[in-house]
Amino acid sequence: MARVRDLTGGRGVDAVIDGVGKDTFDGSLDCLRPLGTMISFGNASGPVPPFSIATLGQKGSLFVTRPTLFTHIADHETCQAMARQLCHKVGSGDVEIEIGARYPLEQVAEAHRALESRQTTGSVVLTL
């Protein structure tokens, strides 16, 4: 949190995407600028315990959302539009995909073990 404040001149960041949950929730909120948004999408460390909604006001009128894939893909046309937008962003270089590991298809079990034991970062790609 202090490092984020240092890097942003004390301002905080516009958005935090938190897939960890319980262990990082409070710190993620503390990294946000006033009117910032926290996107909480995972519970790797466990579910976020109940908290007072007044905390969001005290920390700067913050927004918190908990998106799910199925909500976003429920409408086929919306899903296709989002896919086109993402492909455009990747193709233009606005979004870079980090490939952290490549495994030959014969080593798919090893790739799964690495993923399950959290030994990977970025995308894991299986190759022929």
Q: Is position 16 within any domain? A: yes
Q: Is position 15 within any domain? A: yes
The pair of three-digit structure tokens given for residue 128, joined into one six-digit string = 């022929």
Neighbouring C-alpha atoms within 13 Å toward the C-beta of 89: 10
**Total of domains in the chain:** 2
CATH code of the domain containing 14:
3.40.50.720
The answer to whether residues 63 and 106 belong to one domain is no
Closest CA to 62 of 88, 102, 87, 30: 30
Q: What is the pLDDT along the chain (128 residues), one digit of tens a residue?
A: 889 999 999 999 999 999 999 999 999 999 999 999 999 999 999 999 999 999 999 999 999 999 999 998 999 999 999 999 999 999 999 999 999 999 999 999 999 999 999 899 999 999 99
Q: Is position 117 within any domain? A: yes
What b-and-e string marks burial along 28-39, b requiring 16 or more CB atoms within 10 Å of the CB?
Answer: bbbbbbeebebe
Q: What range does the domain containing 110 cover? A: 97-128
Q: Is position 116 within any domain? A: yes
The answer to whether residues 49 and 109 belong to one domain is no
Q: Is position 82 within any domain? A: no
Q: Is position 24 within any domain? A: yes
Question: How much is the pLDDT for 19?
Answer: 93
Q: Is position 126 within any domain? A: yes
Q: Is position 122 within any domain? A: yes
The answer to whether residues 60 and 106 belong to one domain is no
The answer to whether residues 58 and 118 belong to one domain is no
Stated pTM of the model: 0.70
**Residue reference for tokens 């193709």:** 91
